[in-house]
């Protein structure tokens, strides 16, 4: 397969560079739209530096708006592409996305996207894509109005997820969909061992970066515009980390169980990528074991702690087993359980394509196994904080309700007076909000004795 590479030679046209980045995006998107890969595998080093922002914007944007793009593609094509031409399908979706959502001149979006088929080694597709995109420029309003009659298309969510959101949040489901369809803001967590957020806010302003204080997290700042982490003052030195406000609340909820017990023994089960691990260590003098079953993701935790100058015992093991445990009970356990990720769709829009209804059942079963396995590791009087980045009740308040029903020595200590989220059974549910926090669920449980 021929793959063109943009050249800096003066004889090379700018259009070739535009074709190359679109071909690279099509290659990256093909496994995602066929549900065989995810955006976590995205590698922007395959494109030149000047094109990386466009590359990521197109890849994430296509996933975010996929239901509408695919509905329009079906209207524009006389017959669907064959399975082996998923890259060409992705290229057509990229063209539609540019015309509808990016400020790229129509002639450039059409010409460079169609021309990118040559970079894929499929020159035959140039005329097909060119014809489809030119028709869209002529009939855009009518075609969009037609496909948007389907709520799944208009709201950019699969039908099963729309149904689940409507059942879980009858008064809020449309707001959740709207929040999911917008990119999440870049939120920072100040390392309290190295300063406070008011002082760091002043440093940001001096660097020309505008930000505001988070509403709920005392350590959080929201940037007006995302930026490269290397542009953040003191990032390399560990003064600040990137973490959503909702995720920062885990340390706040565990605080009452940890602050009175310096040197307390804490387990962070399912710890990767390590944001909550680091936050706990920044706030409390504790002995922390960070556990995760994914060795690659655990290495990321190690890198994060090294940058921040923090230390923990990192353990590569399965939290549904106990072969890693030394028999000494924990004062507190954080279980940030594997979940559907339906509260962070705006940051991981490929979830809408990759997740299936059957996954929710399997995930709920896994969450129950984790709770049952970890609870005996907690000392009497200790606290377990159950957390997910889901907005589905099967994984959240219903999961905790069932756990309490089968666990007589467990009681709820989730604060009722907190100012954030919706009361949800034994816990608190945050729903994603534009320009604010992601969707998250928390329930704090205490072991009697």
**Residue spans per domain, the chain:** 17-154, 187-242, 245-447
User: What pLDDT, on the 0 to 100 scale, is given for residue 3?
Assistant: 34
pLDDT at 10 exceeding the cut of 90: no
In DSSP terms, 202 is beta-bridged to none
Question: Among the listed ranges 44-53, 157-166, 303-312, 385-394, which one has the minimum average pLDDT value?
Answer: 44-53
Q: Classify domain 17-154 at the CATH superfamily level.
A: NusB-like (1.10.940.10)
Question: Does residue 389 have an active-site annotation?
Answer: yes
CATH number listed for the domain at residues 245-447: 3.40.50.150
Q: Does the annotation flag 415 for ligand binding?
A: no
Q: Does the annotation flag 275 for ligand binding?
A: yes
Residue 27 to residue 89: CA distance in whole angstroms: 10
Q: What 8-state DSSP symbol labels residue 395?
A: G
User: What pLDDT, on the 0 to 100 scale, is given for residue 1?
Assistant: 31
Give the pLDDT confidence of 176-189 residue by residue, as tens digits.
999 999 999 999 99
Strand runs (DSSP E) across 234-295, as ranges?
240-242, 264-269, 286-292
In DSSP terms, 424 is beta-bridged to 427
Residue 117 to residue 24: CA distance in whole angstroms: 11
Give the pLDDT confidence of 42-91 residue by residue, as tens digits.
888 889 999 999 999 999 999 999 999 999 999 999 999 999 999 999 99
Q: What percent of the chain has pLDDT over 70?
A: 96
Give the pLDDT confidence of 313-347 residue by residue, as tens digits.
999 999 999 999 999 999 999 999 999 999 999 99
Mean pLDDT of 352-380: 97
Contact 437, 348 (CB under 8 A): no
Give me 75's structure tokens: 């209207």
Contact 283, 315 (CB under 8 A): no
Provide the 3-class DSSP secondary structure of residue 381.
strand
In DSSP terms, 267 is beta-bridged to 289, 333
Burial pattern 61-98, b for ≥16 Cβ within 10 A else e, equals bbbbbbbbbbbbbebbeeeebeeebbbbbbbbbbbbbb
Residue 52 to residue 42: CA distance in whole angstroms: 11
Residue 9 to residue 12: CA distance in whole angstroms: 6
pLDDT at 403 exceeding the cut of 90: yes
Contact 390, 396 (CB under 8 A): yes
User: What pLDDT, on the 0 to 100 scale, is given for residue 41?
Assistant: 83
Contact 94, 26 (CB under 8 A): yes
Q: Does the annotation flag 336 for ligand binding?
A: yes
Task: Please provide the size of the chain in residues.
Answer: 449
State how far the alpha carbon of 115 is from the alpha carbons of 4, 15, 28, 89, in Å: 11, 9, 17, 14
Strand runs (DSSP E) across 293-426, as ranges?
313-316, 330-336, 378-388, 410-412, 422-424
Q: Which residue in the list 177, 214, 339, 389 is annotated as catalytic?
A: 389
187-242 placed in CATH 3.30.70.1170: yes
Q: Does the annotation flag 372 for ligand binding?
A: no
Q: What 8-state DSSP symbol labels residue 224?
A: S
Residue 43 to residue 28: CA distance in whole angstroms: 8
Give me 194's structure tokens: 């190295």
Classify the C-alpha dihedral 211-212-215-217 as positive or negative. Answer: positive
Q: Does the annotation flag 37 for ligand binding?
A: no
Using only C-alpha atoms, the chain has a radius of gyration, in whole angstroms, of 24
Give me 33's structure tokens: 């739209």
Q: Identify the helix (H) or strand (E) that includes residue 127.
A: helix 125-147
- Cβ-proximal residues to 303 (8 Å cutoff; 6+ apart), any chain: none
State how far the alpha carbon of 165 is from the alpha carbons of 51, 431, 441, in Å: 36, 11, 15
User: What pLDDT, on the 0 to 100 scale, is given for residue 259?
Assistant: 84
User: What pLDDT, on the 0 to 100 scale, is given for residue 13?
Assistant: 34
pLDDT at 8 exceeding the cut of 50: no
Residue 152 to residue 49: CA distance in whole angstroms: 36
Give the pLDDT confidence of 234-292 residue by residue, as tens digits.
999 999 999 999 999 999 999 999 988 889 999 999 999 999 999 999 999 999 999 99
Q: Does the annotation flag 271 for ligand binding?
A: yes
**More confident site: 90 or 10:** 90
Mean pLDDT of 409-431: 93
pLDDT at 17 exceeding the cut of 90: no
């Amino acid at each position: 397969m021929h793959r063109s590479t943009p050249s800096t030679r003066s004889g090379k046209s700018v259009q070739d560079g535009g074709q190359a980045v679109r071909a690279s995006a099509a290659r990256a998107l093909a496994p995602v739209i066929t549900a065989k890969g995810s955006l976590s595998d995205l590698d922007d080093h395959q494109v030149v530096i000047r094109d990386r922002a466009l590359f990521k914007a197109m890849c994430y944007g296509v996933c975010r708006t996929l239901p509408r793009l695919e509905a329009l593609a079906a209207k524009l094509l006389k017959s669907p592409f064959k399975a082996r031409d998923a890259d060409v399908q992705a290229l057509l979706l990229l063209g539609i996305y540019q015309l509808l959502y990016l400020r790229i001149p129509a002639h450039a979006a059409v010409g460079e996207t169609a021309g990118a088929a040559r970079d894929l080694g499929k020159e035959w597709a140039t005329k097909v894509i060119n014809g489809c995109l030119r028709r869209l420029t002529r009939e855009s309003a009518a075609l969009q109005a037609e496909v948007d009659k389907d709520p799944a298309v208009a709201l950019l969510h699969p039908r099963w997820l729309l149904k689940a959101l409507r059942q879980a949040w009858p008064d809020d489901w449309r707001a959740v969909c709207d929040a999911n369809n917008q990119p999440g803001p870049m939120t920072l967590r100040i390392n309290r061992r190295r300063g406070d957020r008011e002082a760091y806010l002043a440093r940001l302003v001096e660097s020309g970066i505008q930000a505001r204080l988070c509403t709920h997290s005392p350590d959080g700042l929201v940037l007006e515009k995302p930026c490269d982490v290397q542009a953040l003052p003191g990032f390399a030195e560990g003064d600040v980390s990137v973490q959503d406000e909702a995720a920062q609340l885990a340390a706040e909820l565990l605080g009452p169980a940890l602050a009175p017990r310096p040197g307390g023994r804490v387990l962070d089960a399912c710890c990767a990528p390590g944001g909550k691990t680091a936050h706990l260590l920044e706030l409390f003098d504790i002995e922390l074991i960070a556990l995760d079953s994914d060795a690659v993701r655990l290495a990321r935790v190690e890198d994060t702690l090294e940058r921040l100058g923090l230390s923990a015992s990192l353990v590569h093991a399965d939290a549904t087993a106990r072969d890693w445990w030394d028999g000494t009970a924990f004062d507190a356990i954080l279980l940030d359980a594997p979940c559907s990720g339906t509260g962070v769709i705006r940051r991981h829009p490929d979830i809408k394509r990759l997740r299936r209804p059957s996954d929710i059942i399997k995930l709920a079963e896994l969450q129950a196994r984790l709770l049952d396995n970890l609870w005996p590791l907690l000392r009497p009087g200790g606290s377990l904080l159950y957390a997910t980045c889901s907005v589905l009740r099967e994984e959240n308040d219903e999961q905790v309700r069932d756990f309490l029903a089968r666990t007589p020595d467990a009681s709820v200590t989730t604060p009722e007076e907190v100012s954030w989220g919706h009361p949800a059974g034994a816990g608190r549910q945050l729903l994603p909000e534009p320009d604010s926090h992601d969707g998250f669920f928390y329930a704090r449980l205490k072991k009697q004795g």
